[in-house]
Chain A
Amino acid sequence: MDVEVLAMSTDSRFVHKVWQEEELSRMIPKGVPYPMLSDAGGRIGEVYGVYDAAAGVDLRGRFIIDPDGVIQAMEVLTPSVGRNPAELLRQVRAFQHVRRTSEATPSGWYPGQPALKPGPDLVGKVWQVWKPETVGGSSRPAAGERSATGGIGSPREEG
């Protein structure tokens, strides 16, 4: 997918090393492959709007940044709820699709589904090319629907 992941917390690089060696490598073979960065004092978290000064830690913020360095998406959660990796991957693929094709991805879009070609011809005609029933696998399930992929937004816990 050609995506670089950077993880960042207020922990020092020394704590990252020990966490990788003591716990992460027991969850995943060899631990996580991406850089674990140290945001000492929350200085970088402040600039990204995710530093909780009262707690002295960075909140669970996630930013998708495109190859031009532009932030395309962000999601911030308080510490108790983990991210949904499936939704992150879906969003990255959607933004990559948009960058490659200049199409727009409608609600609930997954790779392989048709996207939209915005333009005057589509005004008032979206109903012809996209149906709400196709939404089902995204992090917000349609009422009573099950997605083909089986993922219905139950938050996956991660470190």
Chain B
Amino acid sequence: MQSARDNCVQPARGPLVATPTGGPSSTAPTTKEVRAMLAQVGKEAPDFEANGYQNGGFQPFKLSDYRGKWVVLCFYPGDFTFV
């Protein structure tokens, strides 16, 4: 339950990519099909919106907001792990 009072941001939309016809719709929660890998070196990075934490606060972050800057996007397995 999200309420405006508790400073929790709305659920982020995740990957913001056009779904190919016939493929799984990004708004259909019932399918368990894996989304196709769209990221390719030399091609535009797939846009996304994700919730995050920075400087003591929560806010949504969208990749396209960083257009005009160099971005290093680092995925990692998990907090509180070892490496």
Report which A residues bind B (CB closer than 8 A).
Answer: 1-11, 13-20, 23, 33-41, 43-53, 55, 57-74, 79-83, 88, 92, 95-96, 157-159
Contacts and interface: CB of A to CB of B under 8 A. Distances in A.
A35 B54 contact: yes
Contacts of A39: 14, 50, 75
Given A20-B53, A35-B52, A53-B34, A64 B42 contact: no
Given A38-B12, A47-B35, A9 B71 contact: no
20 contacts: A1-B70, A3-B70, A4-B71, A6-B61, A9-B78, A17-B58, A19-B80, A35-B52, A46-B15, A46-B35, A47-B35, A47-B46, A48-B73, A55-B77, A61-B75, A63-B73, A69-B47, A83-B74, A92-B70, A92-B72
Interface string B50-83: 1111110010010110111111111111111111
B1 interface: no
B6 interface: no
Contact of A80 (B51, B66, B72, B83): B83
Contacts of B41: 71-74
Nearest to B15: A47
B43 interface: yes
Contacts, number: 197
Contacts of B17: 47
Contact of B45 (A5, A53, A63, A79): A63
Contacts of B83: 60, 79-82, 157-159
Contacts of B82: 157
Contact of A58 (B42, B53, B54, B77): B77
A83 B17 CA distance: 28
A110 to B, nearest CB: 18
A60 B73 CA distance: 10
A102 to B, nearest CB: 16
Contacts of B42: 70-72
A35 B49 CA distance: 13
